[in-house]
Structure 1
Amino acid sequence: MLIAQITDIHLGFDPDNPAEFNRKRLDQVIGMLCNLDPQPDMLLATGDLIDRGDEDSYRRLRNALSVCPFPVHMCVGNHDQRDTFLAQFPDVPTVDGFVQYEVEAGPLRLLVLDTLEEGRHGGAFCEVRASWLRDRLAEQTDRPTLIVQHHPPIEVGIEWMNTHPEEPWVERLRDCFTGHPNIIGLVCGHIHRAIVSSWCGFPVAICPSSAPQVALELAPIDPDTPDGRNMIIADPPAFALHWWNGRELITHYETADEHVMLARYDEKMQPLVRSLLAERPV
Protein backbone atom coordinates (compact mmCIF):
# COMPACT_ATOMS: atom_id res chain seq x y z
CA MET A 1 0.00 0.00 0.00
CA LEU A 2 1.31 3.44 -0.99
CA ILE A 3 0.15 6.52 0.94
CA ALA A 4 1.10 10.01 -0.28
CA GLN A 5 1.22 12.94 2.10
CA ILE A 6 1.23 16.69 1.58
CA THR A 7 1.11 19.25 4.35
CA ASP A 8 1.23 22.93 5.21
CA ILE A 9 -0.23 24.12 1.94
CA HIS A 10 -1.08 27.60 3.28
CA LEU A 11 -3.32 28.42 0.35
CA GLY A 12 -4.46 32.03 0.49
CA PHE A 13 -1.24 33.45 1.95
CA ASP A 14 -1.40 35.84 -1.01
CA PRO A 15 -5.22 36.00 -1.17
CA ASP A 16 -5.76 38.49 -3.99
CA ASN A 17 -3.30 36.92 -6.40
CA PRO A 18 -4.87 34.51 -8.94
CA ALA A 19 -1.36 33.15 -9.66
CA GLU A 20 -0.52 32.66 -6.01
CA PHE A 21 2.91 31.20 -5.27
CA ASN A 22 1.56 28.59 -2.85
CA ARG A 23 -1.11 27.46 -5.34
CA LYS A 24 1.54 26.98 -8.01
CA ARG A 25 3.59 24.89 -5.60
CA LEU A 26 0.54 22.82 -4.63
CA ASP A 27 -0.34 22.19 -8.28
CA GLN A 28 3.26 21.15 -8.92
CA VAL A 29 3.11 18.53 -6.15
CA ILE A 30 -0.32 17.22 -7.14
CA GLY A 31 0.74 16.96 -10.77
CA MET A 32 3.72 14.85 -9.80
CA LEU A 33 1.64 12.60 -7.53
CA CYS A 34 -0.96 12.05 -10.25
CA ASN A 35 1.77 10.92 -12.64
CA LEU A 36 3.55 8.53 -10.30
CA ASP A 37 3.84 4.88 -11.28
CA PRO A 38 2.44 3.24 -9.26
CA GLN A 39 -0.06 5.85 -8.22
CA PRO A 40 -0.69 6.32 -4.50
CA ASP A 41 -3.66 4.50 -3.03
CA MET A 42 -4.61 7.68 -1.18
CA LEU A 43 -3.42 11.17 -0.31
CA LEU A 44 -3.20 12.62 3.20
CA ALA A 45 -3.32 16.42 3.52
CA THR A 46 -2.17 17.00 7.06
CA GLY A 47 -3.24 20.47 8.09
CA ASP A 48 -2.55 24.14 7.58
CA LEU A 49 -4.49 23.55 4.42
CA ILE A 50 -5.02 27.28 4.03
CA ASP A 51 -3.39 30.30 5.64
CA ARG A 52 -6.15 32.53 6.99
CA GLY A 53 -9.15 30.27 7.56
CA ASP A 54 -11.22 31.94 4.85
CA GLU A 55 -13.95 30.34 2.80
CA ASP A 56 -12.54 31.31 -0.60
CA SER A 57 -9.20 29.60 0.07
CA TYR A 58 -10.97 26.37 1.08
CA ARG A 59 -12.98 26.60 -2.10
CA ARG A 60 -9.80 26.93 -4.16
CA LEU A 61 -8.27 24.04 -2.22
CA ARG A 62 -11.23 21.86 -3.12
CA ASN A 63 -10.74 22.82 -6.76
CA ALA A 64 -7.01 22.01 -6.64
CA LEU A 65 -7.60 18.58 -5.08
CA SER A 66 -10.46 17.70 -7.45
CA VAL A 67 -8.00 16.44 -10.09
CA CYS A 68 -6.69 13.68 -7.80
CA PRO A 69 -7.63 10.20 -9.07
CA PHE A 70 -7.22 8.77 -5.54
CA PRO A 71 -9.08 9.47 -2.27
CA VAL A 72 -7.94 12.51 -0.27
CA HIS A 73 -8.16 12.50 3.54
CA MET A 74 -7.57 15.76 5.40
CA CYS A 75 -6.91 16.91 8.94
CA VAL A 76 -6.79 20.43 10.36
CA GLY A 77 -3.84 22.47 11.60
CA ASN A 78 -3.37 25.68 13.51
CA HIS A 79 -4.06 27.89 10.46
CA ASP A 80 -7.37 26.16 9.74
CA GLN A 81 -10.87 27.04 10.95
CA ARG A 82 -13.10 24.03 11.58
CA ASP A 83 -16.45 25.59 10.73
CA THR A 84 -15.23 27.14 7.49
CA PHE A 85 -13.37 23.96 6.54
CA LEU A 86 -16.43 21.77 7.15
CA ALA A 87 -18.66 24.15 5.17
CA GLN A 88 -16.55 23.39 2.08
CA PHE A 89 -15.86 19.74 2.94
CA PRO A 90 -19.11 18.60 4.59
CA ASP A 91 -18.38 14.91 3.98
CA VAL A 92 -15.37 14.88 6.32
CA PRO A 93 -16.47 13.08 9.52
CA THR A 94 -16.40 14.79 12.92
CA VAL A 95 -16.64 13.77 16.56
CA ASP A 96 -18.25 16.33 18.89
CA GLY A 97 -17.20 19.06 16.47
CA PHE A 98 -13.61 17.83 16.11
CA VAL A 99 -12.25 16.63 12.77
CA GLN A 100 -11.44 13.07 13.84
CA TYR A 101 -12.29 9.91 11.94
CA GLU A 102 -11.24 6.44 10.91
CA VAL A 103 -10.15 5.37 7.43
CA GLU A 104 -10.29 1.73 6.36
CA ALA A 105 -7.31 1.25 4.07
CA GLY A 106 -7.11 -2.41 3.10
CA PRO A 107 -4.48 -3.97 5.36
CA LEU A 108 -4.20 -0.78 7.43
CA ARG A 109 -6.43 1.34 9.60
CA LEU A 110 -5.80 5.09 9.75
CA LEU A 111 -6.95 7.23 12.68
CA VAL A 112 -7.03 10.92 11.76
CA LEU A 113 -6.73 13.23 14.77
CA ASP A 114 -7.60 16.88 15.37
CA THR A 115 -4.79 18.76 17.19
CA LEU A 116 -6.17 22.25 16.56
CA GLU A 117 -6.89 24.75 19.30
CA GLU A 118 -8.09 27.84 17.45
CA GLY A 119 -6.01 30.86 18.35
CA ARG A 120 -2.98 28.77 19.40
CA HIS A 121 0.02 27.98 17.22
CA GLY A 122 0.98 24.78 19.02
CA GLY A 123 -0.97 21.56 19.34
CA ALA A 124 -3.87 20.55 21.55
CA PHE A 125 -5.60 17.29 22.38
CA CYS A 126 -8.38 17.46 24.93
CA GLU A 127 -10.04 14.64 26.88
CA VAL A 128 -12.95 14.44 24.40
CA ARG A 129 -10.56 13.72 21.56
CA ALA A 130 -8.44 11.40 23.70
CA SER A 131 -11.49 9.38 24.75
CA TRP A 132 -12.41 8.83 21.10
CA LEU A 133 -8.87 7.70 20.30
CA ARG A 134 -8.73 5.31 23.26
CA ASP A 135 -12.03 3.75 22.19
CA ARG A 136 -10.85 3.27 18.61
CA LEU A 137 -7.52 1.77 19.66
CA ALA A 138 -9.33 -0.67 21.95
CA GLU A 139 -11.48 -1.97 19.09
CA GLN A 140 -8.86 -3.64 16.88
CA THR A 141 -5.81 -4.31 18.99
CA ASP A 142 -4.07 -6.47 16.38
CA ARG A 143 -4.79 -4.28 13.33
CA PRO A 144 -1.81 -2.28 11.98
CA THR A 145 -2.82 1.31 12.69
CA LEU A 146 -1.35 4.58 11.42
CA ILE A 147 -1.99 7.82 13.32
CA VAL A 148 -2.39 10.98 11.23
CA GLN A 149 -2.33 14.52 12.66
CA HIS A 150 -0.91 17.99 12.08
CA HIS A 151 1.28 18.75 15.12
CA PRO A 152 4.23 16.52 16.02
CA PRO A 153 4.44 15.70 19.74
CA ILE A 154 8.24 16.04 19.79
CA GLU A 155 10.94 18.65 20.09
CA VAL A 156 12.62 19.09 16.70
CA GLY A 157 15.54 21.35 17.65
CA ILE A 158 14.27 24.43 15.79
CA GLU A 159 13.43 26.39 18.91
CA TRP A 160 10.70 28.66 17.57
CA MET A 161 8.84 25.62 16.16
CA ASN A 162 9.40 23.23 19.08
CA THR A 163 6.81 21.31 21.05
CA HIS A 164 7.71 20.94 24.72
CA PRO A 165 7.62 17.26 25.72
CA GLU A 166 5.72 18.07 28.93
CA GLU A 167 2.84 19.97 27.33
CA PRO A 168 -0.46 18.57 28.64
CA TRP A 169 -1.69 17.56 25.19
CA VAL A 170 1.49 15.57 24.57
CA GLU A 171 1.07 13.72 27.86
CA ARG A 172 -2.55 12.92 27.01
CA LEU A 173 -1.63 11.61 23.58
CA ARG A 174 1.19 9.53 25.07
CA ASP A 175 -1.25 7.92 27.49
CA CYS A 176 -3.48 6.94 24.55
CA PHE A 177 -0.58 5.28 22.70
CA THR A 178 0.62 3.28 25.71
CA GLY A 179 -0.05 -0.43 25.40
CA HIS A 180 -0.82 -0.37 21.66
CA PRO A 181 2.15 -1.92 19.81
CA ASN A 182 -0.04 -2.27 16.71
CA ILE A 183 0.45 1.47 16.06
CA ILE A 184 2.92 1.39 13.17
CA GLY A 185 3.71 5.09 13.25
CA LEU A 186 2.61 8.69 13.43
CA VAL A 187 2.70 10.98 10.37
CA CYS A 188 2.32 14.71 10.73
CA GLY A 189 3.40 18.10 9.40
CA HIS A 190 3.61 21.61 10.90
CA ILE A 191 7.41 22.00 10.90
CA HIS A 192 7.85 22.57 7.12
CA ARG A 193 10.81 20.18 7.06
CA ALA A 194 11.46 16.48 6.51
CA ILE A 195 12.20 15.01 9.96
CA VAL A 196 12.13 11.48 11.34
CA SER A 197 12.24 10.49 14.98
CA SER A 198 11.00 8.03 17.58
CA TRP A 199 8.52 9.00 20.29
CA CYS A 200 7.63 6.61 23.12
CA GLY A 201 8.92 3.80 20.93
CA PHE A 202 6.77 4.76 17.93
CA PRO A 203 8.17 6.05 14.60
CA VAL A 204 7.33 9.68 13.80
CA ALA A 205 7.59 10.97 10.22
CA ILE A 206 7.21 14.73 9.70
CA CYS A 207 6.46 15.70 6.12
CA PRO A 208 8.01 18.76 4.45
CA SER A 209 5.58 21.34 3.13
CA SER A 210 4.26 22.17 -0.28
CA ALA A 211 4.57 25.83 0.80
CA PRO A 212 8.07 27.25 1.48
CA GLN A 213 10.17 25.37 4.02
CA VAL A 214 11.44 26.38 7.46
CA ALA A 215 15.20 27.03 7.60
CA LEU A 216 17.39 24.55 9.46
CA GLU A 217 18.60 26.78 12.31
CA LEU A 218 19.38 24.84 15.49
CA ALA A 219 20.96 27.66 17.52
CA PRO A 220 18.90 29.03 20.44
CA ILE A 221 16.72 32.00 19.54
CA ASP A 222 16.28 35.09 21.73
CA PRO A 223 12.77 36.59 21.47
CA ASP A 224 14.20 39.97 22.55
CA THR A 225 17.07 40.07 20.04
CA PRO A 226 16.36 39.62 16.30
CA ASP A 227 19.62 38.26 14.89
CA GLY A 228 18.86 38.18 11.16
CA ARG A 229 18.81 34.40 10.91
CA ASN A 230 16.96 32.65 8.10
CA MET A 231 13.47 31.54 9.08
CA ILE A 232 11.58 30.71 5.87
CA ILE A 233 13.33 29.59 2.69
CA ALA A 234 12.06 28.96 -0.85
CA ASP A 235 13.25 25.37 -1.11
CA PRO A 236 11.23 23.25 -3.59
CA PRO A 237 7.74 22.04 -2.73
CA ALA A 238 7.90 18.56 -1.26
CA PHE A 239 5.83 15.56 -0.20
CA ALA A 240 6.12 12.16 1.47
CA LEU A 241 5.36 8.64 0.28
CA HIS A 242 4.66 6.07 2.99
CA TRP A 243 4.93 2.49 1.76
CA TRP A 244 3.44 -0.30 3.87
CA ASN A 245 5.17 -3.51 2.81
CA GLY A 246 3.15 -5.72 5.14
CA ARG A 247 5.78 -5.61 7.88
CA GLU A 248 6.86 -2.01 8.40
CA LEU A 249 6.12 1.51 7.17
CA ILE A 250 8.82 2.94 4.88
CA THR A 251 8.83 6.71 4.34
CA HIS A 252 10.35 8.44 1.33
CA TYR A 253 10.62 12.21 0.92
CA GLU A 254 10.71 13.86 -2.49
CA THR A 255 10.61 17.32 -4.01
CA ALA A 256 8.39 18.24 -6.91
CA ASP A 257 11.22 20.05 -8.66
CA GLU A 258 12.74 18.93 -11.93
CA HIS A 259 15.48 16.38 -11.35
CA VAL A 260 18.65 16.18 -13.45
CA MET A 261 18.94 12.59 -14.70
CA LEU A 262 22.44 11.10 -14.47
CA ALA A 263 21.63 7.47 -15.30
CA ARG A 264 18.70 5.63 -16.87
CA TYR A 265 17.73 1.97 -16.96
CA ASP A 266 19.10 1.00 -20.36
CA GLU A 267 21.32 -1.80 -21.71
CA LYS A 268 24.34 -0.34 -19.91
CA MET A 269 22.58 -0.48 -16.53
CA GLN A 270 20.90 -3.85 -17.14
CA PRO A 271 23.79 -6.00 -15.82
CA LEU A 272 23.79 -4.05 -12.53
CA VAL A 273 20.03 -4.48 -12.11
CA ARG A 274 20.26 -8.20 -12.86
CA SER A 275 23.08 -8.75 -10.38
CA LEU A 276 21.35 -6.83 -7.62
CA LEU A 277 18.07 -8.67 -8.03
CA ALA A 278 19.87 -12.02 -8.24
CA GLU A 279 21.18 -11.44 -4.70
CA ARG A 280 17.65 -11.49 -3.26
CA PRO A 281 16.17 -14.80 -2.12
CA VAL A 282 13.51 -16.22 -4.41
Structure 2
Amino acid sequence: MKAVCFAHLTDIHLNAPEKNNPLFGLDMTAKLRAAFADLASLKTKPAFVLISGDLTQDGDLEDYKHLRTVLDEESAKLGVPVHVGLGNHDFRSPFRQGFLGEEPSEKNYYYAFTHEGLRIVMLSTQIPGSHDGKVDEDQLKWLEDVLSEPAPQGTIVVLHHPITATPSALMDSHLLLNIDELAAVLKGRDVIGVLSGHIHFHNIGSLHGIPCAAATGVAFGMDSTSASTMRFLDNSGYNLAAVKNGKLSIQPRYLPGEHRMLFEWDPAKQPAHA
Protein backbone atom coordinates (compact mmCIF):
# COMPACT_ATOMS: atom_id res chain seq x y z
CA MET A 1 0.00 0.00 0.00
CA LYS A 2 1.25 3.49 -0.87
CA ALA A 3 2.92 5.45 1.95
CA VAL A 4 1.05 8.47 3.30
CA CYS A 5 3.26 11.41 4.29
CA PHE A 6 1.92 14.38 6.24
CA ALA A 7 3.02 17.22 8.50
CA HIS A 8 2.14 17.75 12.14
CA LEU A 9 2.34 21.33 13.41
CA THR A 10 1.24 22.54 16.82
CA ASP A 11 1.11 25.55 19.13
CA ILE A 12 1.18 28.35 16.58
CA HIS A 13 -0.23 30.98 19.01
CA LEU A 14 -1.29 33.54 16.39
CA ASN A 15 -2.65 36.97 17.23
CA ALA A 16 -4.26 39.31 14.74
CA PRO A 17 -1.59 41.82 13.62
CA GLU A 18 -3.84 44.82 14.22
CA LYS A 19 -3.80 44.06 17.96
CA ASN A 20 -0.12 45.04 18.02
CA ASN A 21 0.68 42.87 21.05
CA PRO A 22 3.08 40.20 19.79
CA LEU A 23 3.81 37.39 22.25
CA PHE A 24 7.42 37.72 23.47
CA GLY A 25 7.82 40.39 20.79
CA LEU A 26 7.84 37.68 18.10
CA ASP A 27 5.95 37.61 14.81
CA MET A 28 4.05 34.34 15.11
CA THR A 29 2.48 34.75 11.67
CA ALA A 30 5.95 34.92 10.13
CA LYS A 31 6.93 31.78 12.05
CA LEU A 32 3.89 29.92 10.75
CA ARG A 33 4.59 31.02 7.19
CA ALA A 34 8.22 29.90 7.61
CA ALA A 35 7.03 26.42 8.58
CA PHE A 36 4.90 26.24 5.43
CA ALA A 37 7.81 27.53 3.35
CA ASP A 38 9.93 24.72 4.75
CA LEU A 39 7.23 22.21 3.82
CA ALA A 40 7.16 23.64 0.30
CA SER A 41 10.93 23.09 0.00
CA LEU A 42 10.69 19.35 0.62
CA LYS A 43 11.19 16.88 -2.23
CA THR A 44 8.09 14.98 -1.11
CA LYS A 45 5.03 17.13 -0.57
CA PRO A 46 2.91 16.15 2.43
CA ALA A 47 -0.59 14.92 1.65
CA PHE A 48 -2.06 17.18 4.34
CA VAL A 49 -1.13 19.29 7.36
CA LEU A 50 -2.41 18.76 10.90
CA ILE A 51 -2.31 21.49 13.57
CA SER A 52 -2.98 20.15 17.05
CA GLY A 53 -4.21 23.17 18.95
CA ASP A 54 -3.24 26.48 20.51
CA LEU A 55 -4.12 28.02 17.19
CA THR A 56 -4.16 31.47 18.78
CA GLN A 57 -2.71 33.10 21.86
CA ASP A 58 -5.76 35.11 22.99
CA GLY A 59 -8.57 33.30 21.21
CA ASP A 60 -10.41 36.42 20.04
CA LEU A 61 -12.68 36.63 17.01
CA GLU A 62 -10.18 38.72 15.04
CA ASP A 63 -7.43 36.18 15.81
CA TYR A 64 -9.43 33.35 14.24
CA LYS A 65 -10.31 35.46 11.20
CA HIS A 66 -6.61 36.19 10.74
CA LEU A 67 -5.80 32.50 11.20
CA ARG A 68 -8.35 31.58 8.52
CA THR A 69 -6.78 34.03 6.07
CA VAL A 70 -3.23 32.83 6.70
CA LEU A 71 -4.06 29.12 6.54
CA ASP A 72 -6.16 29.55 3.40
CA GLU A 73 -3.24 31.31 1.72
CA GLU A 74 -0.64 28.76 2.83
CA SER A 75 -2.88 25.79 2.03
CA ALA A 76 -3.43 27.14 -1.49
CA LYS A 77 0.29 27.74 -2.05
CA LEU A 78 1.25 24.28 -0.79
CA GLY A 79 -1.68 22.67 -2.57
CA VAL A 80 -2.80 20.48 0.35
CA PRO A 81 -5.56 20.71 2.98
CA VAL A 82 -4.96 21.85 6.55
CA HIS A 83 -6.88 20.24 9.42
CA VAL A 84 -6.94 21.89 12.85
CA GLY A 85 -7.83 20.98 16.42
CA LEU A 86 -8.25 23.06 19.56
CA GLY A 87 -5.90 23.59 22.52
CA ASN A 88 -6.10 25.25 25.90
CA HIS A 89 -5.48 28.72 24.40
CA ASP A 90 -8.44 28.34 22.04
CA PHE A 91 -12.05 29.37 22.57
CA ARG A 92 -14.89 27.54 20.89
CA SER A 93 -17.38 30.30 20.07
CA PRO A 94 -14.86 32.72 18.50
CA PHE A 95 -13.27 29.76 16.68
CA ARG A 96 -16.56 28.62 15.21
CA GLN A 97 -17.49 32.14 14.17
CA GLY A 98 -14.12 33.49 13.03
CA PHE A 99 -12.50 30.36 11.57
CA LEU A 100 -15.37 28.08 10.57
CA GLY A 101 -17.77 30.87 9.59
CA GLU A 102 -20.54 29.39 11.75
CA GLU A 103 -22.80 30.83 14.38
CA PRO A 104 -20.93 31.13 17.69
CA SER A 105 -21.39 28.01 19.80
CA GLU A 106 -19.73 26.30 22.76
CA LYS A 107 -20.20 22.91 21.13
CA ASN A 108 -17.02 20.86 21.35
CA TYR A 109 -14.99 20.40 18.16
CA TYR A 110 -13.71 16.97 17.16
CA TYR A 111 -13.92 14.87 14.00
CA ALA A 112 -12.34 12.14 11.88
CA PHE A 113 -11.38 11.84 8.22
CA THR A 114 -9.68 9.24 6.04
CA HIS A 115 -6.93 9.74 3.45
CA GLU A 116 -5.93 6.80 1.23
CA GLY A 117 -6.92 4.31 3.90
CA LEU A 118 -5.31 6.18 6.81
CA ARG A 119 -7.81 7.43 9.37
CA ILE A 120 -7.07 10.62 11.31
CA VAL A 121 -9.03 11.32 14.49
CA MET A 122 -8.81 14.91 15.76
CA LEU A 123 -9.82 15.02 19.43
CA SER A 124 -10.48 18.01 21.67
CA THR A 125 -8.83 18.01 25.10
CA GLN A 126 -9.99 21.52 25.87
CA ILE A 127 -11.49 22.32 29.28
CA PRO A 128 -13.01 25.81 29.00
CA GLY A 129 -11.30 28.21 31.39
CA SER A 130 -8.43 25.85 32.19
CA HIS A 131 -4.97 25.03 30.85
CA ASP A 132 -5.50 21.38 31.79
CA GLY A 133 -6.72 18.88 29.21
CA LYS A 134 -9.18 16.00 29.22
CA VAL A 135 -11.01 13.89 26.66
CA ASP A 136 -14.61 14.11 27.84
CA GLU A 137 -17.03 11.21 28.17
CA ASP A 138 -18.96 12.05 25.00
CA GLN A 139 -15.76 11.97 22.95
CA LEU A 140 -14.62 8.71 24.50
CA LYS A 141 -17.91 7.08 23.53
CA TRP A 142 -17.70 8.58 20.03
CA LEU A 143 -14.08 7.44 19.67
CA GLU A 144 -14.95 3.91 20.75
CA ASP A 145 -17.57 3.80 18.01
CA VAL A 146 -15.17 5.21 15.39
CA LEU A 147 -12.52 2.63 16.26
CA SER A 148 -14.96 -0.27 16.19
CA GLU A 149 -14.18 -0.69 12.47
CA PRO A 150 -10.48 -0.77 11.50
CA ALA A 151 -9.10 1.44 8.73
CA PRO A 152 -6.98 -0.11 5.93
CA GLN A 153 -3.81 1.77 7.00
CA GLY A 154 -4.70 2.17 10.66
CA THR A 155 -5.64 5.21 12.74
CA ILE A 156 -3.68 8.22 13.97
CA VAL A 157 -5.17 10.00 16.99
CA VAL A 158 -4.35 13.71 17.34
CA LEU A 159 -4.90 15.77 20.49
CA HIS A 160 -3.34 18.78 22.18
CA HIS A 161 -2.23 17.43 25.57
CA PRO A 162 0.40 14.65 25.55
CA ILE A 163 -0.19 11.23 27.09
CA THR A 164 3.36 9.97 27.77
CA ALA A 165 5.96 11.04 30.33
CA THR A 166 8.60 13.67 29.54
CA PRO A 167 12.14 14.25 30.89
CA SER A 168 10.74 16.98 33.17
CA ALA A 169 8.64 16.34 36.28
CA LEU A 170 7.24 19.85 35.94
CA MET A 171 6.10 19.25 32.37
CA ASP A 172 4.61 15.90 33.39
CA SER A 173 2.07 17.93 35.35
CA HIS A 174 0.79 19.21 31.99
CA LEU A 175 -0.13 15.83 30.54
CA LEU A 176 -3.70 14.78 29.74
CA LEU A 177 -5.69 14.36 32.96
CA ASN A 178 -7.47 11.13 32.01
CA ILE A 179 -4.76 9.16 30.21
CA ASP A 180 -5.98 5.82 31.54
CA GLU A 181 -9.53 6.39 30.27
CA LEU A 182 -8.26 7.26 26.79
CA ALA A 183 -5.80 4.36 26.82
CA ALA A 184 -8.60 1.92 27.58
CA VAL A 185 -10.38 3.01 24.39
CA LEU A 186 -7.21 2.89 22.25
CA LYS A 187 -5.87 -0.45 23.49
CA GLY A 188 -6.39 -3.35 21.11
CA ARG A 189 -7.67 -1.17 18.27
CA ASP A 190 -6.00 -0.19 15.00
CA VAL A 191 -4.32 2.92 16.45
CA ILE A 192 -0.75 3.16 15.13
CA GLY A 193 0.17 6.52 16.64
CA VAL A 194 -0.88 9.39 18.90
CA LEU A 195 0.28 12.92 18.05
CA SER A 196 0.17 15.90 20.42
CA GLY A 197 1.65 19.28 21.31
CA HIS A 198 1.29 21.60 24.32
CA ILE A 199 4.74 21.01 25.87
CA HIS A 200 6.63 22.82 23.08
CA PHE A 201 9.40 20.25 22.63
CA HIS A 202 9.78 17.01 20.70
CA ASN A 203 8.99 14.04 22.94
CA ILE A 204 8.69 10.42 21.86
CA GLY A 205 7.11 7.70 23.98
CA SER A 206 4.68 4.80 23.83
CA LEU A 207 1.47 3.73 25.52
CA HIS A 208 0.36 0.09 25.34
CA GLY A 209 2.83 -0.29 22.48
CA ILE A 210 1.36 2.65 20.55
CA PRO A 211 3.99 5.21 19.42
CA CYS A 212 3.28 8.69 20.83
CA ALA A 213 4.98 11.84 19.54
CA ALA A 214 4.66 15.39 20.80
CA ALA A 215 5.93 18.08 18.42
CA THR A 216 7.74 21.24 19.37
CA GLY A 217 5.84 24.50 18.97
CA VAL A 218 5.89 26.54 15.80
CA ALA A 219 5.61 29.72 17.87
CA PHE A 220 8.32 28.95 20.44
CA GLY A 221 10.02 26.04 22.17
CA MET A 222 10.58 24.89 25.73
CA ASP A 223 13.66 23.46 27.43
CA SER A 224 12.91 19.78 28.07
CA THR A 225 15.88 19.47 30.45
CA SER A 226 14.70 22.12 32.93
CA ALA A 227 13.36 20.20 35.93
CA SER A 228 11.84 22.91 38.13
CA THR A 229 11.23 25.90 35.85
CA MET A 230 9.77 26.46 32.40
CA ARG A 231 12.31 28.01 30.04
CA PHE A 232 10.65 29.48 26.93
CA LEU A 233 13.01 29.44 23.93
CA ASP A 234 13.04 31.30 20.61
CA ASN A 235 13.00 28.29 18.34
CA SER A 236 10.50 26.67 16.03
CA GLY A 237 9.79 23.34 14.41
CA TYR A 238 7.30 20.64 13.52
CA ASN A 239 7.12 16.90 12.80
CA LEU A 240 7.04 15.12 9.47
CA ALA A 241 5.20 11.82 9.62
CA ALA A 242 4.88 8.88 7.27
CA VAL A 243 2.70 5.79 7.43
CA LYS A 244 3.87 2.81 5.41
CA ASN A 245 2.50 -0.72 5.68
CA GLY A 246 0.58 0.25 8.78
CA LYS A 247 3.64 1.62 10.61
CA LEU A 248 4.21 5.24 11.68
CA SER A 249 7.56 7.01 11.45
CA ILE A 250 8.31 10.52 12.74
CA GLN A 251 11.02 12.95 11.63
CA PRO A 252 11.37 16.08 13.79
CA ARG A 253 12.35 19.23 11.91
CA TYR A 254 13.78 22.39 13.44
CA LEU A 255 13.66 25.74 11.68
CA PRO A 256 16.50 28.28 11.86
CA GLY A 257 16.30 30.46 14.97
CA GLU A 258 18.24 32.16 17.71
CA HIS A 259 17.48 29.55 20.41
CA ARG A 260 17.70 32.31 23.03
CA MET A 261 15.73 32.19 26.26
CA LEU A 262 12.62 34.37 26.07
CA PHE A 263 11.22 33.90 29.55
CA GLU A 264 11.67 31.66 32.57
CA TRP A 265 8.77 30.77 34.83
CA ASP A 266 9.43 29.44 38.32
CA PRO A 267 6.15 28.11 39.77
CA ALA A 268 7.56 28.45 43.27
CA LYS A 269 8.13 32.19 42.88
CA GLN A 270 5.90 33.56 40.11
CA PRO A 271 2.21 33.47 39.17
CA ALA A 272 1.25 31.19 36.31
CA HIS A 273 2.32 32.42 32.89
CA ALA A 274 -0.29 32.27 30.12
TM-score by length of 2: 0.82
Amino acid aligned to 1:176: V
CA contact (8 A) 1:78 1:117 kept: yes
Residues of 2 paired with 1:166 and 1:150: CA distance?
A: 9
Is 2:80 the partner of 1:70?
yes
Q: Report the Cα distance in structure 2 between the residues aligned to 1:146 and 1:257, rounded to whole angstroms.
A: 29
The match for 2:223 among 206, 212, 215 is: 215
Unaligned runs of 5+ in 1: 222-228, 259-282
Secondary structure in 1 aligned to 2:148? helix
Q: Name the CA distance, whole Å, in 2 between partners of 1:165 and 1:16.
A: 32
Cα displacement string for residues 232-265 of structure 1 (whole angstroms, at most 9, x for unaligned residues)? 0112x2011101122411100112228xxxxxxx
**CA 1:17–1:38: 2 relative to 1, 3 Å:** same
Work out the number of aligned pairs and report it: 244
Q: Using the TM superposition, give the Cα deviation of residue 142 of structure 1 relative to its aligned residue in structure 2, in angstroms.
A: 6.1
Q: Take 2:176 and 2:131, find their aligned partners in 1: how far apart are those partners?
A: 16
Q: Any residues of structure 2 matched to 1:87-102 within 5 Å, and which?
A: 87-90=97-100, 97-102=107-112
Moved over 6 A (4+): none
Structure 2 contact 140–182 (Cα < 8 Å) conserved: yes
Mind listing any 5+ residue stretches in structure 2 that lack a counterpart?
258-274
- Selected match of 2:7 from 4, 9, 13: 4
Structure 1 residues 51 and 175 mapped into 2: Cα distance closer, same or farther (>3 Å)?
A: same
**Pairing 1:186–2:194 present:** yes
Name the CA shift for 1:129/1:255 in 2 (closer, same or farther; >3 Å).
Answer: same
Structure 2 CA distance, aligned partners of 1:198 and 1:149?
Answer: 15
Identity %: 28
Instruction: Determine helix, strand or coil for the equivalent of 2:93.
Output: helix
Q: Which residue of 2 aligns with 1:257?
A: 256
Maintained 8 Å contact 1:191/1:208:
yes
Amino acid at match of 1:171: D
1:178-203 Cα deviation digits (max 9, x unpaired): 221x2111011111001101112210
Report the CA distance between 1:152 and its aligned residue: 0.7
Q: For the Cα contact (< 8 Å) 2:241–2:250, is it kept in 1?
A: yes
- Between the aligned partners of 1:73 and 1:230, the Cα distance in structure 2 is 29
| Residue 41 (structure 2) pairs with residue 38 (structure 1) | no
Looking at structure 2, the residues matched to 147 and 164 of structure 1 have their Cα atoms a distance apart, in angstroms, of: 19
The alpha-carbon deviation at position 65 of structure 1 amounts to: 1.0
More strand by percentage: 2
3-state SS, counterpart of residue 139 of structure 1: coil
Match of 2:141 in 1: 131
Q: Please give the alpha-carbon distance, in whole angstroms, between the structure 1 residues aligned to 2:174 and 2:109.
A: 24
- Asked if the contact 1:156–1:162 (Cα under 8 Å) also holds between the matched residues in 2, the reply is yes
Q: Judge conservation of contact 2:160–2:196 (CA < 8 Å) in 1.
A: yes
Alignment of structure 1 residues 260-275 onto 2, 5 Å: none
Corresponding residue for residue 232 of structure 1: 232
Post-superposition CA distance 1:74-102 (Å, at most 9, x none): 1100000011111123279xxx9221111
Question: Aligned residue for 2:203?
Answer: 195
Query: What amino acid is the match of 2:233?
Result: I
Q: Which moved more, 1:36-45 or 1:19-28?
A: 19-28
- Are 1:46 and 1:150, in contact at CA under 8 Å, matched by a contact in 2? yes
Deviation, structure 1 residue 151: 0.7
Secondary structure of 1:65's aligned partner: helix
Letter in 1 for 2:59: G
Q: Is the 8 A contact 1:153 1:163 kept in 2?
A: no
Contact 1:152-1:163 at 8 Å conserved across structures:
no
1:28 aligns to what? 34
Q: How far apart are the structure 1 equivalents of 2:246 and 2:119?
A: 14
**Shift in alpha-carbon separation, 1:72–1:128, aligned structure 2, 3 A:** same
CA shift in 2, pair 1:121/1:231, >3 Å: same
SS at 2:206's partner residue?
Answer: strand
